[in-house]
Structure 1
Amino acid sequence: MSSYHNIQSLNSQHFKPAHIIQSDEEALQIAQLLSEKFKENAVQRDVQRILPFDEIQEFSQSGLWAITVPKQYGGADVSSLTVAKVIALFSGADGSIGQIPQNHFYALEILRNNGSEQQKKKLYTEVLTGARFGNALAEFKTKTAAHKQTALSKTERGYFINGEKFYCTGSLFAHRIPTLVRDEQNREFLAFVPRESQGLDIIDTWSGFGQKVTGSGTVKFNNVFVLEDDIVPFDISFSQPTLVGPFAQIMHAAIETGIARAALEETLIRVRQARPWIDSGVEDAADDPLTIYEIGHIATDVRATEVLLKQAAQSIDAAKPQPTDENIAKASLDVAKVRAHSTETALKASSKLIELAGSRGSQRHDGLDRFWRNARVHTLHDAARWKYYFIGHFELNGVRPPRRGTL
């Protein structure tokens, strides 16, 4: 695998002024048009693993990457439902592209909750100009996912970061890499590290069979200097009631909802185009009763997921003005419900697409398998079974879910 420096450099890129989106309606209109454009070459990108540098540049310049910036800083501050719909649209067109801004929006939510006024002005301004944030959160060499070894050290010269991260989705396309670090007092921070920082190396190590062009490589830090101004507290995101967890998870649910909806729509196209089914005794696949049954089942599941997504988004937005233990727990549970359901629905809808398309569904150049591969890889992000556990624990015993990034 090659270093990011050998793939494409963004260091010298001068931002053109990005478009400033003013409303939810405008955001959805732009997302609809742009996602349709990105759909055109989605199969080619997947088959040949062509990293979507041009598409991501156009995506962020459209203004869609700044839609969660609060109005007092110049953004549209759109609803959580609009964010979810935008991600679903792009995920339906290309599962990888739909996932890439997820960590960007997650970092902005950390900033909104925990950043200082000075940090917000600085980083929101960058995003409104067109800057993209990636992520360096997960670690591979620790005993559990909760343990982190990447260290933030204070010296006479300032702060330095040393460590290694993996599954750094979107890092290949980013201008800053928000990095989860731990200091000498065992406190956690999110450091917004500039891409051009000396000692920072992004390596294209991602080789998943799905979500192939998300840029989820490895990031290494070797005495990387970071300004105190670029370090935001992280651990307080969960020591107090915030929407950081539910907001992170509804975006994951939106990715799967978008894949499921696109798989259903592709299934309808393929079934209508199918040759007569000799074995079934009907002249048209669209008249086959078993096919009609399967379509009805999938359509119901997809619609149910979309309804759950809307309900979860409304719970997030209801809690946003004044988060409490109670309304954050409700938002977390509502998001857990859609996330569990979207996992199952995306896998089922994408699998049925291949089945109902018949032998043509296995043709590589058609790319029908990408829906299932993208869904299968993305749904491994965190287990749906734990969503059901916390939902059941609340329903049965009245126990609120813990506050964490996976709920």
Structure 2
Amino acid sequence: MTPPLLDDDAAIAAAESLRPVIAAGAAARDRDRILPRAELDALSQSGLLGITVPARFGGRPVATATVARVVATLARGDASVAQIPQSHLTFLDALRRTGTDLQQKRWFGEALSGRRFANAQSERGTPTVGIDHTSFVPRSDGSYRLNGRKYYCTGALLAHWLVVRGVVGDHRASDAQRRKVLAYLPVDTPGIVVEDDWDGLGQRTTASGTVVLSDVDVPADALIPYSAIFTEASTYGARAQLVHAAIDVGIARAAIDAARTAVAGARPPVDAGVETADRDPLLLQQFGDLEITVRSAEALLVEAGRAIDRAEDPRAEGPGTTDPEVAAAASIAVAAAKVVATRAALDTTASLFDAGGTRSAAASSGTDRLWRDARTHTLHDPSRWKVQHVGRYALTGAHPPRHGLV
């Protein structure tokens, strides 16, 4: 069955329909670390994995704000499931920017058919997360030999395609001699092993693991340029970060949902002098402030998506040239959204315990799942640096830095 093509309204409706499906078993999957196979198959069949494919390759690209709303809706159901298409969407954007027509036709077609792309980016033991030791060594026939080890490879265990970041040649060469690339490889390519070893305290069912790459044969047409994405101003990083912010917004909204259920079964403190916990004036004040924060995050998420589209129309045939000033404004809008989304996710999930009272401390209550998901996911690209970038932009107009940490 071919997944449907979705316009903006249909994409949001599809996400809303999928949300209860992925929410239904989220607590049990987290408790027993059961990977969301059926839920991801439902996502593949929904058409949501193709909502950014350009029209000339058969897609019907939606607005970036719609993409953000879709991801937030999925995260409201299960943040682990919502985390998996983050890399998928990001690497389709990379393909749109630097892939050849033949490469785009091939892999956009895969996305439209519901096939999932996962990442193999991060490494351990390097001075910064932007440094890769994974290498593509050229061969005389034009192909490459790939070796390396990647960690935190979200979605890799249940992916169809693995996108590997590395450098062409020897990673010890000078910066001038190094060029980064992305390789789009079937996950069952000989020499690729995905280890089921993710042990995070949260986001436990993101199908993540370590990817070991041992003498993998890589055809030349599997590679696209990566370093080139960052030579000029663009919205690439902003788009990737917007999806991360959307996941946090979804977690925050899920915590508000859970608080409503928790408070209904809680006893009020004696000092409150009320019959039910939902009449405790201090709790009402606390959650009134939290609801305002979550609504602010939701609004900033949409505004950031619109800012990206003002910088670069996602419905255009290609990425085109982005004005540096407009691109910077979009990045700052995303930074602001991410800061507030982080605060909303952490504050609401921590306060969920207050809504449930003492009984929420029981492991069997599952109250901690959303907090663990929020605490784990918000460690992606810490928001404290986003505040610095926003402050410099506000006072001096300085553009935020461009780098490949998405």
Interval containing the TM-score (normalised by the shorter chain): over 0.9
**Aligned counterparts, 1:137-176, within 5 A:** 137-157=121-141, 158-176=143-161
Could you tell me how far apart the structure 2 residues matched to 1:108 and 1:202 are? 21
Q: Which moves more between the two structures, 299-308 or 356-365?
A: 356-365
Q: How many angstroms does 1:279 deviate by? A: 3.7
1: CA distance between counterparts of 2:275 and 2:373? 33
Matched, 1:197 2:181: no
**Superposition map of 1:103-252 within 5 A:** 103-157=87-141, 158-184=143-169, 185-252=177-244
Counterparts of 2:58 and 2:189 in 1: how far apart (Å)? 28
Contact 1:18 1:61 survives alignment (8 Å): yes
* 1:199 and 1:222 in contact (8 A); partners too: yes
2:404 and 2:3 mapped to 1: Cα distance?
31
Q: Please name the residue that 1:267 is paired with.
A: 259
Q: Which string of whole-angstrom CA distances, capped at 9 and with x for unpartnered residues, describes residues 114-154 of structure 1?
A: 11111100111111112110000111121221211000111
Gaps of at least 5 residues in structure 1 are 1-16
For residues 229 and 237 of structure 1, the distance between their equivalents in structure 2, rounded to whole angstroms, comes to: 18
Q: Which residue of 2 aligns with 1:313?
A: 305
24-33 or 268-277, which moves further after superposition? 268-277
Tell me how far apart the structure 2 counterparts of residues 106 and 368 of structure 1 sit (CA, whole Å).
31
One-letter code aligned to 2:11: A
Is residue 2:325 matched to residue 1:326? yes
How many Å apart are 1:406 and its aligned residue?
Answer: 4.7
Partner of 2:75: 91
Aligned mates of 1:137, 1:161 — CA distance in 2: 14
Name the CA distance, whole Å, in 2 between partners of 1:406 and 1:222: 25
Q: What's the counterpart of residue 352 of structure 2?
A: 353
CA RMSD, Structure 1 to Structure 2 (Å): 1.3
Instruction: Determine the structure 2 residue equivalent to 1:381.
Output: 380
Q: Is the 8 A contact 2:121 2:164 kept in 1?
A: yes
User: Deviation of residue 265 (structure 1)?
Assistant: 1.7
- Where 1:135 maps in the other structure, the secondary structure is strand
User: What amino acid sits opposite 1:376 in the alignment?
Assistant: R
- Aligned 8 A contact 1:79 1:317 in 2: yes
Distance 1:357 1:327 in 2: 45
How many pairs align? 391
Structure 2: runs of 5 or more not aligned = 170-176, 314-320
Contact 1:18 1:62 in 2 (8 A): no
Contact 1:246 1:405 (8 Å CA) reproduced:
no
Q: Which TM-score applies when normalising by structure 2?
A: 0.94
2:272–2:281 CA contact under 8 A, matched in 1:
no
% identical aligned pairs: 39
CA distance in 1, matches of 2:99, 2:64: 20
Q: Normalising to structure 1: TM-score of the pair? A: 0.93
- Asked if 1:73 corresponds to 2:48, the answer is no
How far off is 1:36 after superposition? 0.9
